[in-house]
Structure 1
Amino acid sequence: MKAIIQNLEIRAVTAYLPERIVDLKAFESVFGEKKVIEIMRTTGVKQVRYADEAETAADMCVKAADKLLKEERIDRQTIDGLIFVSQTPDYLLPSTSVVIQNRLGLSREVICLDVRYGCSGYIYGIAQAAAWIQAGMCKSVLVLAGDTTSRLIHPEDKSLKLIFGDAGTATWITRGEGKMAVSIHSDGSGYDKLIVPAGGFRLPCSELTQKPGMDEDGNVRTPENMYMDGMAIFSFAMKEVPENIRETIREIGWEENDASFYAMHQANRFIVECIRKALRVDSLKMPVNVEFYGNTGPASIPLLLADKCPSASCELRRTVLSGFGVGLSWGSIACDLSGTHFYKPIN
């Protein structure tokens, strides 16, 4: 899917980070010093944030949304669209977005939608909000993106435990004079490369799905835990993401070197650096903040924006947002964020 969406603005972005900070060196007693150092070197992750036991993705997103609504002095009754992007909802049903509508004190006229995507989810959420606005359904939409991915990972799975963290974010989109180019792709043939096999109706939870097993690399997990084929995901990202970014830039009418800032999904430093080199982009245009937060799934792009843009001298007039992962799915957006307000992440 490729499209130009007109007459809208991304007005503000902020993020919430859970208070619990875990240094990866704390895992040396579990996985061994050599393994931890190797993962820190290849991924660039040094710390992750974990949500409290009773804290959900919705809780974190609500805190981010409250911050944004207060800073922007938004009348909550004027919000007419709410999108919650997460793979860790509060309930199987009802939709978490409807629960959040009540918690935020929004109008009963608001349209609510859950988007069950991870690392590409922010792109899907922004594209959906933009489509609502262009279609005349909404004038003012909140896109809340967050996950508690840490809870999907077995504590003895060293391949994932040292990479993923938790966060929640809020983005405000309204009618305006701007435009964006959107390019989104899907390939379900790779659905099993990043998956939690059990817990849905294909394979319900049972005593059998709770039994742990060990793979050939010594990682322990049950079918109720997340599994990722790291090499397959890397190969997919390198094959699809650079070209997806190029086609999005072409779609909006820029030259390839015109993009001034790239907000990439923070899978890990190695993947982002490989994509940057494939595009021949200066490192200042494609920042990385995975060092202190890990891979925060759908929250990673807005978290990067909230983390880097308020204090840095970022040139945002020609910005590219790009996410990729579970599905397999990938997508990019080209837009102008020079007028967007960014608020530092809160705890």
Structure 2
Amino acid sequence: MLIGSFQHIKVAGLSVAVPTEKVAVDTFSDIFGTENIEKFKEMTGVQSVSRAKPNQTASDLGYEAAVDVFEKSKVSKSDIGFLIFVTQKPDYRVPSTAFVLHKRLQLPEYCLCFDLNLACSGFIFGLQTILSLLDNSESKAALLITGDTSVKTLSPHDRTMVMLFGDSGSATLLEKTKDVAPVHLGFRTDGHRFKSIITPAGAYRNRNLPHDRVAWSDGILRSDYDTHMKGMDVFGFSITDVPQLMKDFMASRETTTEDYDFFVLHQANNYILKQLSRKLKIPVEKIPVSLDRFGNNSSNSIPLVLADHFGGKHLGNLHIFICGFGAGLSLACGDLVIDTAVVNPLLETDFCYLDSY
């Protein structure tokens, strides 16, 4: 396990934007049948998902969150030395969408920008990257944006995914300061299972595959341009590798579950959350849930939970444990202290950027 530790850097602001449209899982009954819908809800805990407009991109949602976080924090845009955008749904193949956000947010020209292609572990991988850059520079502050519109690469016939994933964007301001507890992060990677969550076509490996959707071995209509998840592989990974990482991390930190106020975990599904609670003996009241109303929000799961449960509430400093896991396969966890006063309430938006190519 790779461990990263950072001193004198705090979360100075956090905002999350979701689309206004919420799609109830029950509306899929005509497609998948009432019995399958009830089984899905019981297993996953998802009752509805957030759904972006057809022209609304991940960067649109991330941009709205960034505008909100700047408006509500004391950090100046002129202090931002780094902008990282974590997404698997960029605006273009070239350039990185971080440059589009740099232009839209009117950040200084000395700001270093790039994208990270990560999903459910992306928020923590992004934290490690941007904290490392900030810690080794003269910059005063940095901006981490995450965003995904997962539905845009899902087959509408895929009952395992289309009802599970929601769309959103987040913006987190990091600022150097002396008076704050350190941040600790831990990571593991299993590239041997990279095919477990994959969109086979659409980039440069398989450029000329047909777009027609045909029945796969599980009977679901897909094309190779649709994201596919090997459910049992990912499930096994989630209830074995992930709790082991969490145990190993707490052992390295010499902490226990009692040392944390809350465990803000990737919102994969309700059954996996219950398994993590059972295996690590975490009281269920310490695991806040947002997937029932918003679904699995990929790299935004952790900030979405924070904004949903703590946004606008002045509960003081909370010692939280975070964990994200998914495509790659990748898994990450960590702990930090966050002042709930800098966590803003969820905002809803349908805004789409019109000055595109």
Which band: TM-score by shorter chain?
Answer: over 0.9
Provide the residue aligned with 1:228 in structure 2: 229
**Which 4+ runs in 1 deviate beyond 4 A?**
311-316
CA distance in 2, matches of 1:228, 1:340: 38
> How high is the TM-score relative to the length of structure 2?
0.93
Provide the residue aligned with 2:199 in structure 1: 196
Name the aligned partner's letter for residue 272 of structure 1.
L
Provide the residue aligned with 1:70 in structure 2: 71
Provide the residue aligned with 2:323 in structure 1: 322
Task: Give the 3-state SS of the residue equivalent to 1:200 in structure 2.
Answer: coil
Task: Give the 3-state SS of the residue equivalent to 2:92 in structure 1.
Answer: coil
Contact 2:310–2:340 (Cα < 8 Å) also in 1: no
1:75 Cα deviation from its structure 2 partner: 2.0
Task: Give the 3-state SS of the residue equivalent to 2:60 in structure 1.
Answer: helix
Match of 1:182 among 185, 204, 207: 185
Structure-2 change in CA distance of 1:265 and 1:315 (3 Å): farther
Correspondence 1:1-347 to 2 at 5 A: 1-177=2-178, 178-204=181-207, 206=208, 208-310=209-311, 317-338=318-339, 341-347=342-348
1:317 Cα deviation from its structure 2 partner: 3.3
Contact 1:15–1:168 (Cα < 8 Å) also in 2: yes
Does 20-29 or 128-137 show the bigger shift?
128-137
> How high is the TM-score relative to the length of structure 1?
0.95
1:37 Cα deviation from its structure 2 partner: 1.2
Task: Give the 3-state SS of the residue equivalent to 1:323 in structure 2.
Answer: strand
CA distance in 1, matches of 2:138, 2:212: 47
Deviations 1:229-288 (A, max 9, x none): 111111111111112122323334434431221110111111111111111011111111
What count of residue pairs does the alignment treat as equivalent? 345
Contact 2:324–2:333 (Cα < 8 Å) also in 1: yes
1:147 Cα deviation from its structure 2 partner: 0.2
Contact 1:5–1:179 (Cα < 8 Å) also in 2: yes
CA distance in 2, matches of 1:267, 1:311: 25
1:92 Cα deviation from its structure 2 partner: 0.3
Task: Report % sequence identity.
Answer: 28
Does 26-35 or 242-251 show the bigger shift?
242-251
Contact 1:188–1:328 (Cα < 8 Å) also in 2: yes
Structure-2 change in CA distance of 1:130 and 1:38 (3 Å): same
Contact 2:315–2:341 (Cα < 8 Å) also in 1: no
Name the aligned partner's letter for residue 134 of structure 1.
D
Over the aligned positions, Cα root-mean-square deviation in angstroms equals 1.6
Name the aligned partner's letter for residue 5 of structure 1.
F
CA distance in 2, matches of 1:209, 1:94: 26
Does 49-58 or 130-139 show the bigger shift?
130-139
Contact 1:159–1:219 (Cα < 8 Å) also in 2: no
CA distance in 2, matches of 1:189, 1:289: 31
Name the aligned partner's letter for residue 52 of structure 2.
A
Does 101-110 or 337-346 show the bigger shift?
337-346
CA distance in 1, matches of 2:165, 2:116: 20
Structure-2 change in CA distance of 1:139 and 1:340 (3 Å): farther
Contact 2:146–2:300 (Cα < 8 Å) also in 1: yes
